[in-house]
Amino acid sequence: MHDDICSRSFLEFSSRITSPIVNAVPYPHVNIHNVFNDRFLRECLAELKDQLTANFKETDLFKVYQTTDLANLQDCVPRARVTVPHLFRLRQYLYSEAFRDFIVQATGCGSLDGAVDCSCNIYTAGCHLLCHDDVIGTRRISYIIYLSEPDEVWTGTDGGQLELYPIGPDGKNPTDSPVVSMMPEWNSMVLFEVLPGHSFHAVREVSSITKTRVSISGWFHAKQIKQAEKRYGAPSTLQQLQAAGDIYYPPYTSVSIAARSSRQIAEHELSSFLHKWVKPEYLIHENIIRIREHFQNEGSIQLHDFLLPSIADSLREKLKREDSRNRRKCGQYDYACGHGWSVKGPPHIRRYLSYQPDSARTNRNDVGDRLEEVLINVTSTVGFQNWLSAVTGFHCTHAFSEIRRFRAGLDYTLAHSDIFKDSQIDVDLCFTSGPSQWLSGDLGGYQCFTSTEATDGAADVYSGDIAENESLRSIAPTFNSLTLVKVDKGITNFVKFISTHAKGSRWDITSRFVVAKST
């Protein structure tokens, strides 16, 4: 019987099962160790490495290398039965009646279809898959077989854990942090039930720079559609993984302002107070006209060194100090929480810290207070609203502002978390230090605007060049820069997950202004 494919202990174990063996919290799942014959699995790993091509894929939700869909092995690998015989046998075995019977017994999931739906994912340093529920079509059981590092122990500091999230007290959304965390151990297999609105899980970023997390994963499908309607906006996992291509970073617009003109915009139009905060060059009438021309042509603009150097320099020091505090705790889900900073979720949509101190002004934080001062004295003022109307050519009304901190290794927002319903100006005043580390996009932290059509269904979020995909803008975080982006109905944006290898957080004050009409 399959002892050249499975381990003896697994065959014995599976023959003894008479009732489901799943853990119930946070939802039915099981983690089985030493499933396959060690030699057989090593052959599979060798074939994966030597014979299959892995393509790099990145979207708001994940960063991963993915090989050919294993269901189409014979179409994608020349002479597949000869070149990848072990992978062929593994696939055949996984979707055999015997193995499906085991899944049914072990999980109590009801009868399963024989449809093959699996692929191989490779996570190197920085790769991750954020919180999602796997719900698409008839998917009933998710399985993941780990082929990571057969000769080394995978430890917590390597990252790459599969994390399961419970539903929070509202009965709808996953909580801010997971309650189950499983190492991707060599020759182990995790099974869990795909439950609409429940089966939230994520793959923690791989932080090891030497180890590779390799998995073969997929789904067993129900015979009939059983409440398996897609609940959440973005297609997740396989369909999205397959849909995505290489990431593309289009250039953003930026202008440098010459400090020569003396004529300033009328004092009654711009609050004189703004002069105490904003570099004078940005308040000069002729420069405002130049910015407006640029903005109207491009739909976005980035203004560097926006606040006065004296204000920016002291902020930079404070933020740097804050980023180096409690470093050994960074990566913990409650890192830097408290004193006015709280986690904004839910994690299948977003995670970051938001600064909202209590009105009694007791539980506060110095850095948060400094940023709040900027929010109160700059972005929330009538003077700024008037200035924004002048530099954009649109009559703008302030809708909201928020102080955010995106922590390394933890935080992000996903596309579809925020779909614009009308014309607005997105205003982001960014205080993230260390410009060079962010430019390549490898550490995430950039803001990306794209159309919802591009992220729906099978369309590719990032591929194509700017001419084909004009709604796409990607903006690297830069210290003391103000980015203005005109967004219209059907546009969505996200802040890409920040890698644990980033030296600090992304700090920003984000504001939204509703566009009433052209001035």
Least distance from C-beta 157 to ligand AKG, angstroms?
A: 18
Q: Decide which of Fe ion, ligand AKG, none touches 500; Cβ closer than 5 to 8 Å per partner kind.
A: none
- 237 vs 302, which CB is nearer to ligand AKG? 237
Short-list 89, 5, 2, CA closest to 39: 5
Q: In the bound complex, which residue of the shown chain has the CB atom lying closest to ligand AKG? A: 237
Least distance from C-beta 195 to ligand AKG, angstroms?
A: 14
Q: Decide which of Fe ion, ligand AKG, none touches 428; Cβ closer than 5 to 8 Å per partner kind.
A: none
- 27 vs 394, which CB is nearer to ligand AKG? 27
- 237 vs 493, which CB is nearer to Fe ion? 237
- 237 binds Fe ion per the rule CB under 5 A: yes
Short-list 403, 485, 413, 405, CA closest to 449: 485
The strand ranges marked E within 49-112 are 55-58, 62-66
Q: In the bound complex, which residue of the shown chain has the CB atom lying closest to Fe ion? A: 134
Least distance from C-beta 20 to ligand AKG, angstroms?
A: 21
Taken in order 440, 445, 451, 457, the sign of the CA dihedral is positive
Short-list 323, 345, 348, CA closest to 336: 323
Report d(CA 236, CA 194) in Å as an integer. Answer: 12
Q: Which residues contact 190 (CB under 8 A, 6 or more apart)?
A: 29, 30, 31, 32, 142, 143, 144, 146, 162, 182
Q: Decide which of ligand AKG, Fe ion, none touches 144; Cβ closer than 5 to 8 Å per partner kind.
A: ligand AKG
Q: Which residues contact 427 (CB under 8 A, 6 or more apart)?
A: 379, 388, 482, 483, 484, 510, 511, 512, 513
Copy the structure tokens of residue 73.
């092995």
| 8 Å CB contact between 226 and 144 | no
Q: Which stretch binds Fe ion (CB under 5 A): 24-32, 92-100, 102-110, 235-243?
A: 235-243
- 215 vs 437, which CB is nearer to ligand AKG? 215
Q: Decide which of Fe ion, ligand AKG, none touches 505; Cβ closer than 5 to 8 Å per partner kind.
A: none
- 145 vs 270, which CB is nearer to ligand AKG? 145
| 8 Å CB contact between 191 and 143 | yes
Give residues 149-168 in contact with ligand AKG (rule: CB under 6 A): 162
Report d(CA 195, CA 139) in Å as an integer. Answer: 9
416 torsion bin: left (phi>0), alpha (psi -120 to 50), beta (else): left
Angle made by CA atoms 114, 135, 214, in degrees to the nearest 5 = 70
Short-list 450, 380, 369, 376, CA closest to 413: 450
Q: Which stretch binds Fe ion (CB under 5 A): 32-40, 73-81, 237-245, 433-441?
A: 237-245
- Pick from 80, 203, 270, 319 the residue near ligand AKG by CB under 6 A: 203
| 8 Å CB contact between 501 and 125 | yes
| 8 Å CB contact between 168 and 175 | yes
Copy the structure tokens of residue 86.
């072990």
Residues in the chain: 519
What is the helix, strand, coil percentage profile of the chain, to 5?
25, 30, 45
Site string for ligand AKG, 99-128 (x = CB under 6 A): ----------------------x-------
- Pick from 35, 44, 73, 129 the residue near ligand AKG by CB under 6 A: 129
Decide: helix, strand or coil at residue 389.
Answer: helix
Q: Decide which of Fe ion, ligand AKG, none touches 162; Cβ closer than 5 to 8 Å per partner kind.
A: ligand AKG
Q: How far is CA 157 from the centre of its chain?
A: 20
- Pick from 100, 128, 198, 201 the residue near ligand AKG by CB under 6 A: 201
Q: Decide which of ligand AKG, Fe ion, none touches 203; Cβ closer than 5 to 8 Å per partner kind.
A: ligand AKG
Decide: helix, strand or coil at residue 69.
Answer: coil
Cα 227 to Cα 112, 137, 224, 232, 330: the distances in Å are 15, 9, 9, 13, 39
- 94 binds ligand AKG per the rule CB under 6 A: no
Copy the structure tokens of residue 99.
């193995």
Q: Which stretch binds Fe ion (CB under 5 A): 62-70, 230-238, 433-441, 443-451?
A: 230-238
- 133 binds Fe ion per the rule CB under 5 A: no
Site string for Fe ion, 63-92 (x = CB under 5 A): ------------------------------
- 200 vs 449, which CB is nearer to Fe ion? 200
- Pick from 60, 69, 134, 193 the residue near Fe ion by CB under 5 A: 134
- Pick from 45, 144, 390, 485 the residue near ligand AKG by CB under 6 A: 144
Site string for Fe ion, 184-223 (x = CB under 5 A): ----------------------------------------
- Pick from 217, 413, 424, 499 the residue near ligand AKG by CB under 6 A: 217
- 118 vs 509, which CB is nearer to Fe ion? 118
Q: By CB under 6 A, name the binding residues for ligand AKG.
A: 121, 129, 134, 144, 162, 201, 203, 215, 217, 237
The residues binding Fe ion (CB under 5 A) are 134, 237
